[in-house]
Amino acid sequence: MTTKGRDEAWLPDLVCAGGRLVRETAIVTGSDGRILRLSQAPDDLARSERLANRAAFPGFVNVHSHAFQRAIRGRTEHRTAASRDTFWTWREKMYRAAQSLTPEGVYATALMVFTEMALAGITTVGEFHYLHHRPDGSRYDDPLALDDSVVHAARDSGLRIVLLQCAYARAGWKQPPNPGQSRFLYRSAAEFCDDLDALRVRLAEHLPGSEVLVGVAPHSLRAVPLPDLHTIAHHAQRHALPVHIHVSEQRGENEQCKNEHGATPVTVLANEGLLWPDLTAIHCVHVSPKEVDMLAAAGASVCACPTTERNLGDGVLPAKRLFEAGVNLALGSDGQIQIAPLEDARELEYHLRLNLEQRAILAPPSGAACDADGLAAVLLRSATAAGARCLGARVGSLEPGLFADFFTVDLRDPSIAGAGTSLAAFVFGLERTAIRDVIVGGKAIVRDGLHPAAAEAAIKFGEVQRGLWRDS
Ligand SMILES: [Zn+2]
């Protein structure tokens, strides 16, 4: 219980709470980093900070990140020798970068992208971490060395992290080993679970106080055989850990799954009893209407990554159907093509507009025809509270009991000037230039648009890139 004298208050002009913008409201936080209350009378507190010309929003929750892929941003935007460039040709280039990074390089790359995330208003990241071993596939003396690299980068950037430990067993059913995957592979599901338990203990000792630190990420049905998937998923379930898995990003992935299991991934997961409320299916671009209903019936979540899916030519998420079915739909930066949570959110809607030649497709129905902010609230929720649910984190909304994770925007920034209390004006217009303060657990990690680690991170990351690319 926090004593009253240690409470603090943040006083922006506007606070986004309950899906709308309210005036003259303070965010009161306790010494444990949680929100105590939203208050209109913060006079008797030990400290209060007036944030003039600013609006506060809940911090974005980035559910699906592969930090090391920041190293290939912009490095794959050309043709290869293949007859047709797709996700699969991109993947080979990504593997080449993954082969080259040292533990220090993994740290530097993660620090770079996590710092960028902080500057973009992201306060929690779910890091789907699958670089585990040396390039030749042998284990480091400390098998968790690369987990440490990523966790330390998150800590040094100030982000809250949920480390989603990835399980990867094979290139695919009846497929020869792919040397590009040697750093990902576990030797047995039992060993993977042992490493996971060691990671949980280590993080609990090093980073006490956070509610959820670890999740489990069987990479995909392509990469993990079913018996192993059961072992790993049920281990996670016993420890109440979130489970994340790539699902139906590519048509080719669906075909491989049908060849092995006779059905596409969501159907296989449902048949195996592995769809449950703590499961998040990443992508779900190529899912059938019936599979959307299966996800909804199970209470499972979906994480879309539209800026990456757009870049890789994956396809268009059936977002309308997912929302109509009541699926919890969150967002991730995935391949780090862009770090722009609201751009991901807007693309849920915009991709459908291009396909259907209509507007306001994801706006809530029924009696809401005049709700100017209904669509914006839906999209903002995907970038915040929906993600918190996927990660099991007590964040994503400005309400008592949750961690005080939020960011402020400068109301005079050109991208949102004149927005008033229109939530839609913020959600559809906001650019990163407007973001001024980013607060995680009641502590500022960005002030006045500046992150203290950003300059050093860029220098160290530049050195990594010089080692990877001849033109750097
Ligand atoms: Zn991914």
In order, the DSSP letters of 357-402 are T-S-TTS--SS-TT-TTHHHHHHHHHHTHHHHHHHT-S-SS-STTS
Virtual CA dihedral for 178, 180, 181, 187, nearest 10 degrees? 70
140, 122 Cβ separation under 8 angstroms = no
List 29's β-bridge partners, or say none. 8, 35
Residues 6+ apart with CB under 8 A from 200: 213, 214, 239
Q: Which of 334, 344, 373, 410 is catalytic?
A: 334
Tell me how far the alpha carbon of residue 367 lies from the centroid of ligand 1, in angstroms.
38
Of residues 50 and 396, which shows the higher confidence score?
Answer: 396
CA distance 182 to 439: 38
Residue-wise pLDDT for 129-151, tens only, equals 999 999 999 999 999 999 999 99
Tell me how far the alpha carbon of residue 97 lies from the centroid of ligand 1, in angstroms.
15
Tell me how far the alpha carbon of residue 142 lies from the centroid of ligand 1, in angstroms.
25
CA distance 468 to 400: 46
Residue-wise pLDDT for 168-194, tens only, equals 999 999 999 999 999 999 999 999 999
Q: How many CB atoms lie within 10 A of CB 272?
A: 14
Average pLDDT over residues 81-87: 84
* pLDDT of the residue at 410: 98
* pLDDT of the residue at 4: 43
Q: Phi, psi (5° rounding) for residue 457?
A: -60, -40
User: Does the pLDDT at position 167 exceed 60?
Assistant: yes
CA distance 8 to 234: 42
Which runs of E-coded beta strand occur in 98-159?
122-129
Q: Which helix (H) or strand (E) holds 215?
A: strand 214-218
* pLDDT of the residue at 132: 95
Please tell me the least confidently modeled range out of 51-65, 86-100, 251-265.
86-100
**pLDDT classification of 338: cutoffs 50, 70, 90:** very high
Sign of CA dihedral 250, 256, 258, 263: negative
User: Does the pLDDT at position 66 exceed 90?
Assistant: yes
User: Does the pLDDT at position 416 exceed 90?
Assistant: yes
User: Does the pLDDT at position 467 exceed 60?
Assistant: yes
Tell me how far the alpha carbon of residue 62 lies from the centroid of ligand 1, in angstroms.
12
**Is 437 a catalytic site residue?**
no
User: Does the pLDDT at position 310 exceed 80?
Assistant: yes
Name the nearest CA neighbour of 415 among 343, 358, 327.
343
Residues 133-142: contacts with CB under 8 Å, at least 24 apart: 133/182, 133/183, 133/184, 133/185, 134/183, 135/99, 135/100, 135/182, 135/183, 136/182, 137/182, 137/183, 137/185, 140/103
Q: Which of 64, 283, 351, 451 is catalytic?
A: 283
Residues 234-241: contacts with CB under 8 Å, at least 24 apart: 235/193, 235/196, 236/278, 237/276, 237/278, 239/200, 240/278, 240/392, 241/212, 241/214, 241/215, 241/216, 241/278, 241/392
User: Does the pLDDT at position 3 exceed 50?
Assistant: no
Tell me how far the alpha carbon of residue 334 lies from the centroid of ligand 1, in angstroms.
5
Which runs of E-coded beta strand occur in 254-365?
279-283, 301-304, 328-331
**Is 334 a catalytic site residue?**
yes
Tell me how far the alpha carbon of residue 71 lies from the centroid of ligand 1, in angstroms.
15
Rounded to 5°, the CA angle 433-438-439 comes to 170
28, 8 Cβ separation under 8 angstroms = yes
Of residues 213 and 312, which shows the higher confidence score?
Answer: 312
Q: Lay out the sheet containing 243-247: strands in order across.
A: 60-65, 122-129, 160-167, 214-218, 243-247, 279-283, 301-304, 328-331
Tokens of 182: 């040697």
CA distance 325 to 323: 5
* pLDDT of the residue at 367: 60
273, 229 Cβ separation under 8 angstroms = no
Name the nearest CA neighbour of 283 among 330, 243, 248.
248
CA distance 178 to 232: 23
* pLDDT of the residue at 209: 61
Tell me how far the alpha carbon of residue 65 lies from the centroid of ligand 1, in angstroms.
7
Tell me how far the alpha carbon of residue 78 lies from the centroid of ligand 1, in angstroms.
21
* pLDDT of the residue at 433: 97
Residues 6+ apart with CB under 8 A from 382: 304, 329, 330, 331, 345, 348
Residue-wise pLDDT for 366-393, tens only, equals 665 568 999 999 999 999 999 999 999 9
Name the nearest CA neighbour of 33 among 100, 123, 118, 108.
123
